Chains A and B, each alone.
Chain A
Amino acid sequence: MSALPLPAGDALLWRPEPYRIERVRRDLADTFSLDLVPAGGGAPLAFRPGQFNMLYAFGLGEVPISISGDAEAGGPLVHTIRAVGPVTEAMRGLRAGAVLGVRGPFGSHWPVVEAEGMDLVIIAGGVGLAPLRPAIYYALRHRRRFGRVCIFYGARTPDDLLYKAELKRWRGEFDLVVDVTVDRASHDWAGKVGVVTRLVEGGGYDPLHTVALVCGPEVMMRYAARALLARGVAREGIFLSLERNMKCAVGLCGHCQLGPHFVCKDGPVFRLDQVERLLAVDEL
């Protein structure tokens, strides 16, 4: 049975609710995390690992951002955002006390409850660790319900590694495999260098009893999926989180269409066999 709270019903999904920024964390030069609490008091919305919210910067626009906090902690709603364009750049400039609009939560979730009893392999690239962090929190909270738990994380350089302090802590857990690699480094980096897909070869998990959750740039996910298949993980056990531009987030406007799917409603988390044919194509 799921230990996770159920998200709110559809009625609340059209109107942005005002949320106050309780705390801003500067994660990387261009990436920051916002802790949000309802401006009018009360508990933040409930969500499942892998779901996203539409965050509205008043007067500027709305962007889909995954929820990166702990679904069971009951604390503020956490989002980790990389500043890439007008809306996310504006959000980078916000300080504690500022107010954002929040609509959500939307979309499908990582099958963490369904994966209980299996080995869990989590593969993240770059800021793709953010949408996976709630799944990691779930696995840590319910560690005994899983077999082996592996976290494979790749980033561009050591300076681009997200949540460094947490990664260190997770690495210290004796029943967790945490393997980190970067694409390039100078000599003072004592860790691994190479693409994240190579980590899939290690970890000691049992491919026949593995559920894999993958999030990162689309090309990286495609190669990670191939590496998992080559290790013998079943297509049905591989899940990816996809991104497409969004507007309504409730399956009406068609902005996020990917072949027969709406990413906002059928995704963002898909099983590999649902999307693998579409992934080879650039824009659909």
Chain B
Amino acid sequence: MGEITGLDRLLGEHPFFAGMPPDVAKLLAGCARNVVFEAGRYVFREGGAADQFYLLRHGTVTLEVRVPGREPLVVDTLQEGDVIGWSWLLPPYQWSMDARAQTLVRTLALDAVCLRGKLDAEPALGYELFRRFVPVMGRRLMAARLQLADLYARPSGGRG
């Protein structure tokens, strides 16, 4: 119970869950645990089962695309306060990229199997989670589009 109460507090402190109703925080804490990754370790790998998601509490995580015959391409970095991964929300529940700890990383990992069970039983919990995930997904999609647009390529503008 003590651990759950502690996790409950950590969840509430994370920006992703700011303003979350206490009863929802309690439900989520039942699926959460502290997980630490040393620098260089993978948080998850492309194609692996997306059976958790992570709230980044400390450190930096890189999102990487594997390119045959080349160094992996880093396409995003996530920092303290960010959330890592939404593949757990949608079938086929598989990671679509690699995520790697660039520094020592401390996270709260939320167990997806446990969560999916609770989401089915508690629509309010599902609403709270989607309400928080959708803007993050929207921002990241927009960012990815801007990266694709290759804004700084020459010679679209003298200053690019």
Name A residues whose Cβ lies closer than 8 Å to a Cβ of B.
Answer: 30, 82, 84-85, 88, 125-128, 130-131, 154-156, 160, 181, 183-195, 197-198, 202, 215-220, 223, 243
Contact in complex: B151, A220 (CB < 8 Å):
yes
Which of A30, A126, A191, A215: most chain B Cβ within 10 A? A126
- Inside 8 A of A130's CB, which chain B residues have their CB? 159
- Inside 8 A of A217's CB, which chain B residues have their CB? 151-152, 156-157, 159-160
Contact of B160 among A125, A131, A191 (CB under 8 A): A125
**Number of A-B pairs whose CB atoms are under 8 Å?**
100
Shortest Cβ distance from A258 into chain B, in angstroms?
14
Inter-chain CA distance A215–B157, complex, in Å, is 12
Known: A127-B159, A243-B157. A186 touches B152 (CB 8 A): no
Contact of B64 among A30, A155, A187, A216 (CB under 8 A): A187
Contact of A219 among B73, B79, B146, B158 (CB under 8 A): B146
Proximity bits, B95-121, A CB within 8 Å = 1, else 0: 000000010000000000000000000
Contact of A82 among B62, B75, B142, B154 (CB under 8 A): B154
Contact of B74 among A128, A156, A193, A197 (CB under 8 A): A193
Proximity bits, B137-160, A CB within 8 Å = 1, else 0: 001001100110111111111111
Q: Which 8 A-B pairs have the closest CB atoms?
A: A84-B155, A126-B152, A156-B152, A186-B71, A217-B160, A217-B151, A195-B143, A127-B159
Give 28 A-B contacts (CB < 8 Å), ordered by A residue.
A30-B154, A84-B155, A85-B155, A125-B159, A125-B160, A126-B151, A128-B159, A130-B159, A156-B153, A181-B77, A185-B73, A186-B72, A187-B62, A187-B72, A189-B74, A192-B77, A193-B62, A193-B74, A193-B75, A195-B146, A197-B146, A217-B151, A217-B160, A219-B149, A220-B146, A220-B152, A223-B142, A243-B159
Q: Is the interface of B mostly helix, strand, loop or mixed?
A: loop
Inter-chain CA distance A202–B60, complex, in Å, is 15
The yes or no answer to B3 lying at the interface (CB within 8 A) is no
- Apart from A217-B152, A243-B157, 6 more pairs, CB < 8 Å: A82-B158, A82-B159, A125-B151, A184-B147, A193-B77, A198-B139
Shortest Cβ distance from B29 into chain A, in angstroms?
26
Inter-chain CA distance A160–B160, complex, in Å, is 10
The yes or no answer to B122 lying at the interface (CB within 8 A) is no
Shortest Cβ distance from B152 into chain A, in angstroms?
4
Contact of A131 among B60, B147, B155, B159 (CB under 8 A): B159
Contact of B159 among A30, A126, A192, A202 (CB under 8 A): A126
Shortest Cβ distance from B55 into chain A, in angstroms?
17
Contact in complex: B159, A215 (CB < 8 Å):
yes
- Inside 8 A of A202's CB, which chain B residues have their CB? 79
- Inside 8 A of A243's CB, which chain B residues have their CB? 157-159
Inter-chain CA distance A130–B159, complex, in Å, is 8
Shortest Cβ distance from B78 into chain A, in angstroms?
9
Contact in complex: A184, B159 (CB < 8 Å):
no
- Inside 8 A of B79's CB, which chain A residues have their CB? 192, 202
Question: Of residues 113 to 137 in B, which have CB atoms within 8 Å of A's CB atoms?
Answer: none
Closest chain B residue to A66, Cβ basis: B159
Contact in complex: B153, A187 (CB < 8 Å):
no
- Inside 8 A of B154's CB, which chain A residues have their CB? 30, 82, 84
